Chain A
Amino acid sequence: MLRIIAALTSGVVFGIGLALAGMLNPAKVVGFLDIFGVWDPSLAFVMIGGIAVNLIGLRVVLRREAPLLCDRFILPTATTIDRPLIIGSLIFGVGWGLAGLCPGPVISSLMLNPSDMVAFALVLVAGLMLGRWVAPKLA
């Protein structure tokens, strides 16, 4: 139960952060990506803030043997820079630029704007399923 509350709390903080940051506004996201047009660099500060907190915080957290509520940390094990990583990320960027939406903000907009976002989320999940199936074939 505590683990569920922990995940829920993290999600709430994440959603508030996205909203405050301006990440739930696709027009602002596209403004950030529009460096050759009229550029709004605000969202660079989202990355700076998010990374800074973890750069410092993770040093403390990962010094422990295990997380507080589970028996071990589960960190990514892949280290090679392979074709799926690059191809997949390039594809993701095209989608991000087309609508100004990445997965977190889609989820956090589900109740704010259900008429559009539920459909977007369903197609996104279908894409995730297909991508999972395709990824090993690209390696």
Chain B
Amino acid sequence: MIIAWENLTPLDSFIGGCLIGVAALLLMALKGRIMGVSGIIAGLFASNPTDERAWRFAFLLGAVLGPICLQTVTGQPVISQAVASGLQFYLAAFLVGVGTAIGAGCTSGHGICGLARLSPRSLVAVLAFMTSAVATVAVLKFV
């Protein structure tokens, strides 16, 4: 194993992680809901009553605006470097959608909220998606 020392951002990542945690805690304390993004998106498109769709839309709108606010305040662009294009890009999108719907959660719902609730289901989900994600990245290197 080789560590990418020059790319490490442990402090920024920790602070960002704490903020993600605060966001989840806010949603639970105020609205009583799990901050699982795949579930929040799915519920927006399911046959739900208007108020059930409204909070989901508001959360997602906030998530869109957050990085824009940060960019405006700091004056620094948020760095984003794509790793996939074409078929690989769209296949990824499809698999992320199908997988999180079948597995009932993603990195936020299972990875943050579920693990913090000490949910055995979430622990299994996280181990499963981490394993297949690591394997996928490893396999792609040989292709």
Which chain A residues border B45 with CB–CB below 8 Å? 125, 128-129
Could you tell me the distance between the alpha carbons of A15 and B64 in the complex, rounded to whole angstroms? 7
Nearest A residue (CB) for B60:
A107
User: Interface readout for B45-63 with A: 1 if CB under 8 Å, 0 if not?
Assistant: 1100001001110111111
Given A12-B69, A93-B132, A17 and B19 contact (CB-CB distance below 8 Å): yes
Given A85-B104, A97-B135, A128-B100, A51 and B116 contact (CB-CB distance below 8 Å): yes
Could you tell me the distance between the alpha carbons of A116 and B82 in the complex, rounded to whole angstroms? 9
Interface residue tally of chain B, by bracket?
35 or more
Could you tell me the distance between the alpha carbons of A57 and B23 in the complex, rounded to whole angstroms? 11
Could you tell me the distance between the alpha carbons of A88 and B106 in the complex, rounded to whole angstroms? 10
User: Interface readout for A60-96 with B: 1 if CB under 8 Å, 0 if not?
Assistant: 0110001111101111101111001111111111111
Which chain B residues border A19 with CB–CB below 8 Å? 16, 66-67, 70-71, 78
Which of B's residues lie within 8 Å of A, judged by CB? 1-4, 7-35, 37-38, 41-42, 45-46, 51, 54-56, 58-71, 78-84, 88-108, 110-117, 119-121, 124-126, 128-138, 140-141
